[in-house]
Amino acid sequence: MKRTLGNLERALFAYAQMRGLRTLRTGDLTVALGISCTQESKLFTRLSKGRMIAQVRRGLYLIPQRLPLGGTWSPSEILALNTLIGEQKGRYQICGPNAFNRYGYDEQVPNRVYAYNNRMFGERMVGPIQLTLIKVADKRLGATEESVTPDGEQGVYSSRARTLLDGVYDWSRFGSLPRAYEWIRTDLKKNRVSERELVRVTLRYGDVGTIRRMGYLLERESADAMLLRKLERTLKPTRSLIPWIPSKPKRGVINRRWGVVDNECP
């Protein structure tokens, strides 16, 4: 772990701070500091390995606003996402386990950040920050709320209603069913979310299976009949059935209206 700074390291931080730069790219320092490409590459490598700057991708580095004297530095999760996705001129929203924790559905704090976005898919690292990027179509981004970090970075999270919807829609990725059903029931009873909002996000961001499951759940919770009909009108007649809890055998009481097999009971 790097604890002391040489002349080139100090020059890099002074240059970035004097110009108010949060990122540096390969080639930025050759003229500014009068060094060769090889020297620049080694400088970036030393500082990123010493956890004093963070590599966003090959050739792009995040620089701390303040020099981490005698210690290490890590960007915030929001800064890491804003830089990585912003550099691609994309959009994102933090979702899944991070959103479940944000709204109090799950006490476990994830050790990585899950984000829907319209640019990248797969695992990424920005310094020590681990990211799971889920690429989706532009139309599946939305229903969000913003949060500002202490250092002024603006992060984008899925809204409460969208998070509940994704707990049903993306159950296989997040392992969120049947827990998400109970989250929805509780939030409805405590007026944290409305039936109307759940129907709205389901129609806009859900698929057929999600509409069926959400319709069945809301019917069981005695939701407004007009809202249920909005969901029902989007479904085509079918004889196929889906399980209420996907991870359990498809055996139980059949609800023909929604095409759901209620397999909740053993």
* 3-class DSSP state of 101: helix
178, 248 contact by CB (below 8 A) = no
Least confidently predicted of 25-34, 91-100, 148-157: 148-157
Distance between CA 109 and CA 102 in Å, rounded? Answer: 9
Provide Rg for the chain, Cα atoms.
24
Distance between CA 136 and CA 119 in Å, rounded? Answer: 8
Helix (H) or strand (E) holding 184, with range, is helix 179-189
**In percent, how much of the chain has pLDDT > 90?**
91
Distance between CA 263 and CA 44 in Å, rounded? Answer: 56
8, 39 contact by CB (below 8 A) = yes
Look at domain 7-62 and name its CATH class. Answer: mainly alpha
Average pLDDT score over the chain: 94
Sequence ranges of the domains in the chain: 7-62, 77-158, 162-235
Going 20 to 31 to 33 to 71, the CA torsion angle's sign is positive
**Average pLDDT, stretch 216-244?**
96
259 φ/ψ sector (left φ>0, alpha ψ -120 to 50, else beta) = left
Compute CA 225 distance to the chain's CA centroid, rounded to the nearest angstrom.
33
**Average pLDDT, stretch 112-124?**
97
223's tokens = 């939701």
pLDDT tens track for 165-210: 999 999 999 999 999 999 999 999 999 999 999 999 999 999 999 9
At 1 the pLDDT is 45
Distance between CA 186 and CA 179 in Å, rounded? Answer: 11
Q: Give the bridge partners for 236, in sequence order.
A: none
Query: Does residue 238 surpass a pLDDT of 90?
Result: no
**Average pLDDT, stretch 30-43?**
95
**Average pLDDT, stretch 216-232?**
97
Query: Does residue 255 surpass a pLDDT of 50?
Result: yes
**Average pLDDT, stretch 135-154?**
94
Least confidently predicted of 50-59, 93-102, 145-154, 188-197: 145-154
58's tokens = 């090959």
**Average pLDDT, stretch 33-42?**
96
> What DSSP line would sit under 61-88, residue for residue?
EE--SS--TTS-----HHHHHHHHHHHT
242's tokens = 């889906």
Query: Does residue 65 surpass a pLDDT of 90?
Result: no
For residue 103, name the pLDDT band (cuts at 50, 70, 90).
very high
Query: Does residue 265 surpass a pLDDT of 80?
Result: no
At 68 the pLDDT is 67
* 3-class DSSP state of 256: coil
Query: Does residue 56 surpass a pLDDT of 90?
Result: yes
135, 119 contact by CB (below 8 A) = yes
First to last CA, the chain: 55
Query: Does residue 76 surpass a pLDDT of 70?
Result: yes
154, 85 contact by CB (below 8 A) = no
